[in-house]
Structure 1
Amino acid sequence: MTRPIFVLLFCLSLFHCTSPKSPAVAFYYWRTTFDLSPEEQWTLKENNVSHLYVRYFDVVLKNGVPMPLSAVAFRSAPGALNIVPVVYLKNEVMLAKDVDVNDLAKKILSLILQVNKQQNITTSEVQIDCDWTLTSKDTYFSFLEALKKAGAKKLSATIRLHQVKYFKRTGVPAVDRGVLMYYNMGHIAADSSNSIYDRRTATRYTESLKHYPLPLDVALPVFSWGLHIRGNKVIALLNKVDVNTFAGDTSFRKQEGIPFFEVTHNVLKLDHFFEAGDRIKIESIAAADLTEMANDLTGVLAQPPAEVIFYDLDTFNLKHYRDEDNLYQNTGRAF
């Protein structure tokens, strides 16, 4: 073999061996009952999903005492899926006076183990979802340290965009990795903006990502909701609704060119009372939005994400992307 050909083959082999690997596809599961529908099972299998991030319970403050709320109930077994328990910790808990973080950490891990034992689940990671503030930072970070001491082998935490940009003030949690929540970045408002995803808002923060010292995976939105507006003020958030929820209903008139419905007369719908003159604004995420998010994040993260986690796995959400071939994998490949 001549030297030029040998060098070429060696370089090709080296490029093949060191070419970046696409992030794995994962999902959040955020319902209080774990029971995968056929479409949800198919989506997991089709996208080679191994990690499912399941919300186990919330921790809230009741009469000044941290308490678990709405623990998940398993109606079906997760099978071969690697389950990562997620605990949503309300910031009010970290702001409580005299909260015993060591005791709280032990109780949270104990409850996770109880759920695991009942379902014969083995987990190796715990994820904490908390939108901490400057006031709660020290207590929250101490709580994470207490979780490690109590036996959490691997620990991850959700990270918001503002916590990335101002990390020298907001601090960096001492966890194994973070998950950048790349959604809910705008203001919930009565105008035509989209509070789930606003590119102009996102670009104010993305440049800071390359300086963030914690390895980050990325969570992207695949959900929609509605805002109930009365007198130009948002009075309620309507989960799991889309345009089809109101289209064809004569009590709601679609306004041309914008995602608003006007209530034509007083009506009860979705166990919710709407007055004539109220408006419903639908906020959703298109497949093109997900591609745009991935493209905008490519190259600005300090390192490529190991996982792209979609929020959240639910037949209601999945149906909006049925006509998109390999959407979740292609979004991951865009990084």
Structure 2
Amino acid sequence: MKKILFAVLALCFLVSCNSHKEPEIAFYYWKTVFKLSPGEREVLKENDVKKIYIRYFDVDIDKNNQPFPLAPIHFKEKINALTVVPVVYIKNKVMLNQSLDVALLARKIFDFVNKINATNQISCHEIQIDCDWTLESKDKYMKFIEVFKSISRKKLSATIRLHQIKYFNKAKIPAVDCGVLMYYNMGKIAPDSLNSIYDRKIASKYLPSLEKYPLKLNLALPIYSWAVHIRDQKVIGLKPKIDYKSLEKDTNFTAKMNLFFVANNSNYKGGTFYKRNDVLKIERVTAQQIKDMSADLESHMNTYPEEIIFYDLDEINLSHYEKNIFKQAVARF
């Protein structure tokens, strides 16, 4: 009887330890025009996506040293059956501006978000701020977050970089309802063989810090790729959302090593001029690496994420993965 009771108690303990809800799948939409392709719409449906994080606009500094909205979103179709979270990307140089009026900036950003929502008949309950703040800009950024939270009276989330987690005592923690760990852009864009988007060795140096980070976190994982344009061993450009599979069929380029393509002759591709012997270094994240990310993060986070947001929803990005990769990633939690 005691053995049976012990077995039942052990089973109950295991169930309780694994009773957390699996994270929801969400996506970032990072284009200036909102119009879903059939493939993008299919991925949202197959993964039962309920929420989409849409970049509304960037905030930059104009020639008069004043903040202004850059490249605001234009909706070419209505949002149906999806919860929208407006995302505003604020360049760090805005926060470094000595003459910045934080309260005025918060009011203008909130008013512009409301204007976009009203124009497109969108109702939102959450807004996300994306800013890679530094030690020099942290005080103004933290104040901005407090003011924006007070003005908006909405749920507020903010993107968090790995270095801001490891050194959170110095970098400070924004007073938001939830952070989103951007688990990508880990290295320098360079002509070498390293991948600046994701490097497991680099990531491992930051993972232990997650166990002590006091802010609740969701996760943002990369599904994007880009090509680093190299000439004479120097980086001269970055080509986002390039379909690297098309390079394998392009007779103007020859594959060298792992995802390096060399121009056989001078040519134009996608509006860019490539000189003979120019190199395109493809940086991407494989399906296995996405699963590795999930496994590594699951073993170090002090709370389970409620969402995993994939960056970003785009036909080219989606074409590089099997349809079930997103469910496989969240299943690790």
Q: TM over 0.5: same fold?
A: yes
The corresponding residue for 2:102 is 101
- Using the TM superposition, name which of 195-204 and 234-243 deviates more: 234-243
Q: How does 1:1-335 map to 2 (within 5 A)?
A: 12=11, 16=15, 19-63=19-63, 64-255=65-256, 257-321=257-321, 324-335=322-333
Q: CA deviation at 1:53?
A: 0.3
Q: Secondary structure of the equivalent of 1:292?
A: helix
Q: Deviations over 1:85-113 (max 9, x none)?
A: 00000001001121111111111111111
For 1:146 and 1:312, the matched residues in 2 are separated by 29
For 1:116 and 1:11, the matched residues in 2 are separated by 51
Asked whether the equivalents of residues 43 and 323 of structure 2 are also in contact (C-alpha less than 8 Å), the reply is no
Which amino acid letter does the alignment assign opposite residue 128 of structure 2? Q
Q: CA deviation at 1:216?
A: 0.7
Q: CA deviation at 1:325?
A: 4.9
Asked whether the equivalents of residues 230 and 278 of structure 1 are also in contact (C-alpha less than 8 Å), the reply is yes
Q: Deviations over 1:300-326 (max 9, x none)?
A: 1121111110000111111111xx352
Q: CA deviation at 1:243?
A: 2.4
Q: CA deviation at 1:250?
A: 2.0
For 1:14 and 1:122, the matched residues in 2 are separated by 42
Alignment gaps of 5+ in structure 1 = none
For 1:6 and 1:161, the matched residues in 2 are separated by 45
Which amino acid letter does the alignment assign opposite residue 267 of structure 1? N
Which amino acid letter does the alignment assign opposite residue 168 of structure 1? N
Q: CA deviation at 1:245?
A: 3.0
Alignment gaps of 5+ in structure 2 = none
- TM-score (norm: length of structure 1): 0.94
For 2:10 and 2:81, the matched residues in 1 are separated by 39
RMSD: 1.7
Q: CA deviation at 1:30?
A: 0.3
Q: Secondary structure of the equivalent of 1:104?
A: helix
Which amino acid letter does the alignment assign opposite residue 308 of structure 1? I
Asked whether the equivalents of residues 52 and 81 of structure 1 are also in contact (C-alpha less than 8 Å), the reply is yes
Asked whether the equivalents of residues 226 and 242 of structure 1 are also in contact (C-alpha less than 8 Å), the reply is no
Structure 1 outlier segments of 4+, above 4 Å: 2-18
For 1:194 and 1:273, the matched residues in 2 are separated by 24
For 2:31 and 2:271, the matched residues in 1 are separated by 19
Q: CA deviation at 1:4?
A: 7.5
Cα distance, 1:201–1:4 mapped onto 2, change above 3 Å: closer
- TM-score (norm: length of structure 2): 0.95
Percent of matched pairs sharing the same residue: 47
Asked whether the equivalents of residues 51 and 84 of structure 1 are also in contact (C-alpha less than 8 Å), the reply is yes
Q: CA deviation at 1:13?
A: 6.1
Q: Secondary structure of the equivalent of 1:320?
A: coil
Q: CA deviation at 1:8?
A: 6.0
Which amino acid letter does the alignment assign opposite residue 234 of structure 1? V
For 1:134 and 1:174, the matched residues in 2 are separated by 16
Aligned residues: 331
